[in-house]
A and B are shown apart, each in its own frame.
Chain A
């Protein structure tokens, strides 16, 4: 039995809801009032995750934290196709590299969003500059990918957990005052992610139109 300790407006929690929806897994949700209740600092939550961060996932007796780690766990355990977190060592390295970039996006785009919308005390201009630096690199990577016939962040011909890990806080960047106008390839990639079968929405992340069949 899977239980997700979840905050609806958290992009990191949404990553897990998104993958579990794609993998068609059923799970329970325990809502955690991250804002404004700060319930992630409550004793009962810190006993689950001493780092005080969402999301936390329980699978029977196993308790896991960190969205990237949980994505890898869910894919390795529940994805019979083996596509979402491939076994090939080189691809694993690629995926983990983008999980690292996803943490950078959280530390910049999500930080700006938390500062602007949730009153967190972060250096907003600095977070925005860092997000733009990452988005520039991603746009370049994705633009050359398109030219070389690659639609996703990693080299396989299908999406991986890397795409899920990076996606939410790219989509939510406007809430942190970070426009995506200068990143057309990044914007096209978000359309592709939003067309993955099983895609679900969250507040601020809309579906894309149907692709031309």
Chain B
């Protein structure tokens, strides 16, 4: 029977023992090479054995526990989703999050790892598998066609006890079952199972190994005399252009997904933790360290919360919500009315706070609830064995959130409790030190602290591109008193923006669909290019250099200084 690339049957492709932690196994099924690896949470991933970047084999990559890193260029792919989490050439969110390596279905059962060429058939245990404690033999690769190997196994049976042929290239010889993995048209692996663990394991393993070695040698001698069948020719699909290129403007809001509140708890005084999971137990989309989700609240508001998870940890997202902010509408609803078991709509993760992983020194500075994105960053750096220093400033010892999560980190983690403003500034000055090449600092916390750290860093010679920050909200008063015209270059429209109305609102009133999220100049979603005119920046998203360049604007709060702005939209 000729092998088919689209054969939907499940075949064993490895033994469970082949997949120790932090190893990448190289397998093959029906001509397709596979990179198979076990993540630290026990999950087994079966992926196409190609890094999407240049087609280098992922089986020579590094299994970091929750991500697989391609050694050639540093691309990373997350456990479960196979989503790319890092492209060294552009560390920003887009488009890495949306690129996924090709995955194959996987099941671990009976001491073997099973996979199939596609998802067309659900996994089904083999006949008679129930009620035994199956024991895997040493696999035996054979350079012969799968059909010839099945025939060879059949001939091992004594005349009075003929072998049973089972579906999907399997043979039952006495109580032992031998599965033939169709590696390619001309190559196979025999994977044997005994129904129980033998009393003397090594002797039994040696016995079957010798038997199968002899069979292999006979089959290979016979195969060498026959014309070799043509190997199967799988096609390696390329990533589409729109996924593999960087979009000019912020990624439009994707679809929302519904998640269930799996757990809600007090994490430190004043911070409520929420664990959000897919309703069917599937994994959530890949995210990057520093990414946030928009949470659609029951009262219609949309608020951004950072994901605190570590790499490849996709079975739920954990966010932290500050109780104090409860007076400000959004968080109040979340803290007071949302209970465990409730369903919320969230956006796909977005990242305005990308983490570089090529720094010689990474300094993370958190104030209060600002710990959430930095916890995620620390976890990523931790898993990659990259050095980092995390400094967490809190008002009192009770306000430390995610304490137990911080305690298991291996990096330098310091909590600074109850320091006054001047002492915080002195400490930050000491921590930053004079700028050195390839140093990066990440700051998240209250607005006043962000400004202080930025000013301090600038004074110490740190360039803007080495200072990374994320505001949770824009607390500055917005001056909407100006009135001006905006010319929309691509849309060929000129609109008048009156006092008291934003550019964003004006565009929407005129029938344009424009992406936005926080609508307070903090999240970066409505970032738009500026072609002409001087911008009156009122956001906290852009850094000083970006503002001074006068080439971009956050249309939700910022305005024109003159009478006219030309926007690239």
In Å, the complex CA distance between A140 and B18 comes to 13
Alpha-carbon distance between A187 and B35 when the two chains are bound, in angstroms = 13
| Contact in complex: A184, B202 (CB < 8 Å) | no
The docked-state distance in angstroms from the alpha carbon of A209 to that of B63 is 6
How far is B27's CA from A180's CA once the two chains are assembled, in angstroms?
10
Partner of A182, one of B40, B64, B141, B202: B141
Structural contact, A181 and B62, CB atoms closer than 8 A:
no
The residues in A between 13 and 51 inclusive whose CB is less than 8 angstroms from any CB of B are none
The secondary-structure label for the interface of chain A is: loop
B202 touches A144 (CB 8 A): yes
Q: Which residues of A line the B interface, CB within 8 A?
A: 140, 143-144, 146-148, 180-182, 184, 187-188, 191, 206-212
| Interface pair A181/B28, CB less than 8 Å apart | yes
- B138–A187 touching, CB < 8 Å: no
Provide the main secondary structure of the chain B interface.
mixed
Asked if residues B201 and A147 are in contact (CB atoms below 8 Å), the reply is yes
Whole-angstrom CA separation of A188 from B25 in the bound complex: 8
Q: Which 4 A-B pairs have the closest CB atoms?
A: A209-B62, A182-B141, A212-B21, A181-B26
Residues of A within 8 A of B141 (CB): 182
CB distance from B40 to the nearest CB of A (A): 7
B202 to A187, Cβ gap below 8 A? no
Contact string against A for B residues 50-66, beta-carbon threshold 8 Å, 1 for contact and 0 otherwise: 00000000001011110
Choice from A144, A180, A187 contacting B205 with Cβ under 8 Å:
A144
B561 CB–A CB distance under 8 Å: no
* Contacts A/B (CB < 8 Å), 21 sampled: A144-B138, A144-B206, A144-B209, A147-B205, A181-B28, A184-B14, A184-B26, A187-B25, A188-B18, A188-B20, A188-B23, A191-B22, A206-B60, A206-B71, A208-B62, A209-B62, A209-B64, A210-B64, A211-B21, A212-B22, A212-B40
**Residues of chain B lying within 8 A (CB to CB) of residue A148:** 202
Q: B206's closest neighbor in chain A, by CB? A: A144
Per-residue contact bits, chain B 191-230, to A (CB 8 Å; 1 contact, 0 not): 0000000000110011001000000000000000000000
Chain B positions 1 through 40: 1 when the CB is less than 8 Å from some CB of chain A, otherwise 0: 0000000000000100110111101111000010000001
Scan B127-138; emit 1 where CB is below 8 A from any A CB, else 0. 000000000001
B22 touches A209 (CB 8 A): yes
B436 interface residue (CB < 8 Å to A)? no
Contact residues, B272-310 vs A (CB, 8 A): none
- Identify the closest chain B residue to A188 (Cβ): B23
Chain B residues within an 8 Å CB radius of A143? 138
Cα A88 to Cα B189 in complex, Å, equals 39
B385 within 8 A of A: yes
User: Complex: how many Å from CA A146 to CA B18?
Assistant: 11
Having A144-B206, A208-B62, A212-B22, one finds 4 other A-B pairs with CB under 8 Å, namely: A147-B205, A184-B139, A191-B23, A209-B64
Q: Which of B69, B71, B138, B205 has the most CB of A within 10 A?
A: B138
A147 contact set on B, CB distance < 8 A: 201-202, 205
Q: Which residue of B lies closest to A187 (CB)?
A: B26
Asked if A140 and B21 sit within 8 Å, CB to CB, the answer is no
Chain A nearest CB from B401 CB (Å) reads: 26
Could you say which of A184, A208, A209, A210 contacts B18, with CB atoms under 8 Å apart? A184
Cβ contacts under 8 Å, A208 to chain B: 22, 62
Whether the pair A211, B22 counts as a contact (CB closer than 8 A) is yes
Interfacial residues of chain B within 106-128, with CB under 8 A of chain A in the complex: none
A180→B40 CA distance, assembly (Å): 25
A208 to B18, CA, bound (A): 16
Which of these, B14, B20, B385, contacts A210 with CB under 8 Å?
Answer: B385
